């Protein structure tokens, strides 16, 4: 009998199962660790967001504190500016007590020694993590006439061709036949429309219309009258500011006044007007608003600390051909201002014009057919407008000059504000026939001048308001 020795058999798959278990266990461990890490990270992110939200709450408390502080220091605004420029306060939450601190920094924009606006920066943090800060910047200004497209102290008729953007107010009656895109308010409940109506209409509403153009839902009457006494700038004070704070001052000329031109590069040119043409306007009165001869001139670089031009005489105002106004500047005349040409801004976000005349502000005769003017125009004791002209009564000098076709112009676009003691008018009609002036007119108030007005713009309130709020980067 033969016996054979059988070799033992080994299971080669037995070790593979162990390897598989180890691999799966490792993968599970990695996934679990990552998941736990994600949860921990998200928890930290949520906590960080919570702290950041509380930090901006603390920063807002700083702005609100300064708003309150400023309101109680209106009489002496300088007292509302921290002596060191900044100060830190503890913020106490109504439920949680002291949770953090805010630091406010205050700076003012000042022209000719007078505060124009106040900029406040507030940085807040919590005691939970002082490294997580949020910063808010805000600007406080007094409301000014720049909030309006028109402020008038006389009865007025806005013609059917008019497009008006921005609040329109008169202390007297308003016939609004144009298209208004904002509130139209009158200080009267009723009035007698005589010069503005033919035939007369008595006892009409403070604001009324005879066309389908106007949005009557935006008519407000009677509203609180605007005190024109608060708009009247004291010419002696302006003259003193220009003389003593780096502005430009010009005494009366020996002739007819001065031509002021914006020439770019932060400069303007002032030229003596030696002679003018004499002619009759459409009412039959003689006037001399067309320049015939110029004399000596000088160039002034606008001083940003006191960008005020004070001229104790009549002024013709324009931008030189090819140039734009590239600064904030105020031009003041103790007489009449004649708007001689286009006035546009190089940078509408930063530039601005204020023109104040103690008497009238008038658009001249020899002006562009399509005229664009930007600025705030204040006729303190007179009116804003363009006189009525007849073709045959305008000058027709020898040579190439002929001013007669200028009696009619095509369009007038005004971006800014008109403040006029007397009634305004830039288009003249007889019945329904267009006779003189601009055929099409658009008025738009300039929102940029609300937040960044030129110096000396009259305030409509003594109280500062928050005009701009944003989180700093």
Which two three-digit tokens encode residue 5?
A: 């020795």
Closest to 418 (Cα-Cα) out of 327, 332, 334, 355: 355
Q: With 70 as the cut, is the pLDDT of residue 218 above it?
A: yes
Helices (DSSP H) in 162-295: which residue ranges? Answer: 235-244
- Which residues, 6 or more positions from 10, have their beta carbon under 8 angstroms from its beta carbon? none
> Can you read off the two tokens belonging to residue 303?
């001083």
Q: pLDDT of 81-103, one tens digit each?
A: 566 667 898 988 888 889 899 99
Give the best-scoring range by mean pLDDT among 51-60, 306-315, 463-472.
306-315
Split at pLDDT 50, 70, 90, the class of 367 is: very high
In this structure, how many other beta carbons lie within 10 angstroms of the beta carbon of residue 42? Answer: 10
Could you read off the pLDDT of 147-162 as tens digits, one per residue? 999 999 999 999 888 8
The pLDDT value recorded for residue 28 is 74
49 or 164, higher pLDDT? 164
Q: What is the mean predicted confidence (pLDDT) over 434-460?
A: 92
Domain ranges of the chain: 50-143, 227-457
CB 17: neighbour CB atoms within 10 A? Answer: 10
Cβ proximity of 418 and 162 under 8 Å: no
User: Tell me, what's the pLDDT at 114?
Assistant: 86
203 — alpha (psi -120 to 50), left (phi > 0) or beta? left
* Distance, CA of 18 to chain centre: 79
Tokens representing 364? 């001249």
| pLDDT > 90 fraction of the chain, expressed in percent and rounded | 61
pLDDT in tens, 224-251: 988 887 777 788 888 888 888 999 999 9
What CA–CA distance (Å, rounded) separates 302 from 210?
A: 47
CA distance 71 to 282: 51
Looking at the predicted structure, is the pLDDT value of residue 115 above 60? yes
DSSP track, 41-96 = HHHHHHHHHHHHHHHHHHHHHHHHHHHHHHHTTGGGGGGGS-TTSEEEEEEEETTT
Closest to 468 in 3D by CA, of 72, 109, 104, 119: 119
The rounded mean pLDDT for the chain is 88
Tell me what pLDDT residue 75 has: 55
**180/220 Cα distance (integer angstroms):** 12
E strands, 334-397, are 337-339, 352-357, 361-363, 370-379, 384-385
Confidence of residue 431 (pLDDT cuts 50, 70, 90): confident
* pLDDT value, residue 42: 64
Q: Read off the pLDDT of each residue in 345-364 and give the average, rounded to a whole number.
A: 96
pLDDT for the residue 261:
97
Per-residue exposure over 319-346, b if at least 16 CB sit within 10 Å of its own CB, e if not: beeebbbbbbbbbbbbbbbbbbbbbbbb
pLDDT of residue 447: 92
Q: Give the Cα separation of 93 and 96 in Å (integer).
A: 5
Tell me: pLDDT of 41 over 80: no
Per-residue pLDDT averaged across 405-417, rounded? 95
Nearest Cα neighbor of 332 from 378, 298, 266 is: 378
Task: Give the pLDDT confidence score for residue 27 in this predicted structure.
Answer: 75
């Amino acid at each position: 009998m033969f016996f054979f020795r059988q070799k033992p058999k080994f299971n080669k798959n037995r070790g593979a199962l162990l390897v598989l278990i180890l691999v799966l266990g490792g993968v599970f461990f990695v996934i679990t660790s990552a998941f736990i890490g994600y949860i921990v990270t998200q928890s930290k992110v949520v906590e960080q967001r919570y702290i950041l939200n509380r930090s901006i709450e603390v920063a807002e408390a700083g702005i609100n504190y300064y708003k309150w502080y400023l309101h109680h220091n209106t009489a002496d605004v300088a007292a509302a500016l921290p002596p060191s420029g900044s100060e830190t306060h503890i913020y106490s939450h109504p439920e949680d007590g002291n949770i953090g601190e805010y630091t406010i920094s205050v700076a003012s924009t000042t022209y000719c020694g007078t505060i124009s606006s106040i900029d406040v920066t507030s940085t807040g943090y919590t005691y939970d993590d002082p490294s997580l800060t949020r910063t808010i910047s805000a600007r406080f200004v007094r409301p000014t006439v720049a909030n309006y497209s028109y402020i008038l102290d006389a009865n007025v008729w806005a013609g059917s061709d008019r497009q008006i953007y921005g609040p329109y107010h008169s202390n007297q009656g308003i016939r609004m036949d144009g298209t208004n895109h904002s509130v139209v308010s009158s200080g009267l409940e009723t009035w007698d429309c005589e010069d503005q109506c033919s035939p007369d209409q008595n006892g009409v509403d403070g604001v009324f219309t005879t066309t389908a153009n106007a949005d009557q839902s935006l008519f407000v009457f009677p509203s609180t009258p605007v005190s024109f006494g608060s708009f009247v700038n004291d010419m002696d004070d302006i003259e003193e500011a220009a003389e003593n704070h780096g502005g430009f001052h010009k005494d009366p000329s020996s002739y007819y006044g001065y031509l002021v031109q914006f020439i770019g590069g932060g400069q303007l040119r002032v030229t003596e007007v030696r002679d003018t043409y004499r002619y009759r306007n459409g009412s039959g009165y003689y006037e001399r608003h067309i320049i015939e001869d110029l004399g000596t001139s000088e160039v002034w670089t606008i001083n940003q600390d006191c960008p005020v031009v004070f001229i104790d005489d009549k002024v013709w105002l324009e931008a030189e051909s090819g140039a734009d106004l590239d600064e904030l500047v105020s031009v003041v005349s103790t007489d009449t201002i004649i708007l001689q040409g286009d006035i546009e801004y190089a940078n509408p976000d930063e530039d601005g014009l204020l023109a104040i005349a103690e008497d009238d502000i008038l658009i001249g005769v020899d002006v562009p057919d399509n005229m664009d003017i930007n600025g705030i125009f204040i006729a303190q004791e007179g009116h804003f407008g363009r006189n009525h002209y007849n073709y045959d009564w305008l000058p027709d000098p020898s040579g190439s000059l002929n001013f007669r076709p200028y009696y009619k112009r095509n369009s007038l676009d005004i971006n800014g504000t008109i403040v006029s003691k007397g009634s305004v008018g830039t288009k003249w009609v007889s019945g329904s026939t267009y006779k003189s002036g601009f055929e099409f007119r658009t008025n738009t108030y300039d929102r940029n001048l609300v937040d960044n007005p030129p110096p000396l713009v009259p305030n409509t309130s003594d109280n500062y308001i928050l005009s701009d709020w944003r989180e700093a980067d």
